[in-house]
Chain A
Amino acid sequence: DQQVKQNSPSLSVQEGRISILNCDYTNSMFDYFLWYKKYPAEGPTFLISISSIKDKNEDGRFTVFLNKSAKHLSLHIVPSQPGDSAVYFCAASDSGTYKYIFGTGTRLKVLA
């Protein structure tokens, strides 16, 4: 049973527009969430995180929103750039366990 779900396997967006990637989780014990970005033939790299005590965290063009009641988080990229084309994974953790559960990823393609 997938505890972290990314229901959109792929997303295409025009350069300059907003990209919204979604992630849902089922375990109410999760209290820390991260987004990773992965290019082909490379390992995932950390992008942005959010703790359950917040509902929004922003870092430059990237903003993560957390809706605890809906067990839903989203990553917004504004404006989207061709270099953002990659696979994005969300991950969730119960911070007492050091263990992350990853979603299946969403492939973002930003069209020039």
Chain B
Amino acid sequence: DARVTQTPRHKVTEMGQEVTMRCQPILGHNTVFWYRQTMMQGLELLAYFRNRAPLDDSGMPKDRFSAEMPDATLATLKIQPSEPRDSAVYFCASGLGQGADEQFFGPGTRLTVL
């Protein structure tokens, strides 16, 4: 049963600390997306990759957020330093990258910054 996995599922941290969220896309998928879900904005696209190359990270606050794909089986989203307004659920999704196709979402990481 192929699924996108995300770790950790929950993270509570203090303002100013570094946070790293990890995602393992479905094997064979070559597009990876990071989203943030907030009450006001719904699902916001933060960044996405195709074949490990970043295609668009315009949704991310550049000064504190960074997204990388060290290899095809791992995507990371880092926040440094974290702020209370970063509290949200962060989702990773992967897809086959064949034009417009469905994305498969992970279960999300719920981040709380105190």
Chain A residues packing against B (C-beta within 8 Å) = 6, 31-32, 34, 36, 41-46, 49, 51, 89, 91, 93, 95-105
Contacts and interface: CB of A to CB of B under 8 A. Distances in A.
Interface in B82-101: 91, 93, 95, 97, 99-100
A102 B55 contact: no
Contacts of B104: 46
Nearest to A92: B100
A34 B102 contact: yes
A98 B99 contact: yes
Contacts of B100: 31-32, 49, 51, 93, 95, 98
Contacts, number: 63
A100 B43 CA distance: 10
A51 B97 CA distance: 16
| Interface residue tally on B, bucketed by range | 20 to 34
Given A104-B41, A104-B42, A43 B48 contact: no
A105 B38 CA distance: 11
A55 to B, nearest CB: 17
Nearest to B106: A43
B99 A44 contact: no
Nearest to B103: A100
B45 A44 contact: no
**Most A Cβ at <10 Å: residue of B42, B56, B97, B102:** B42
Contacts of B93: 43
11 contacts: A31-B100, A42-B107, A44-B91, A49-B102, A89-B42, A96-B99, A97-B55, A99-B55, A102-B42, A104-B41, A104-B42
A41 B4 CA distance: 15
Contact of B103 (A46, A51, A95, A101): A46
A91 to B, nearest CB: 8
Interface in B17-52: 31, 33, 35, 40-45, 48, 50
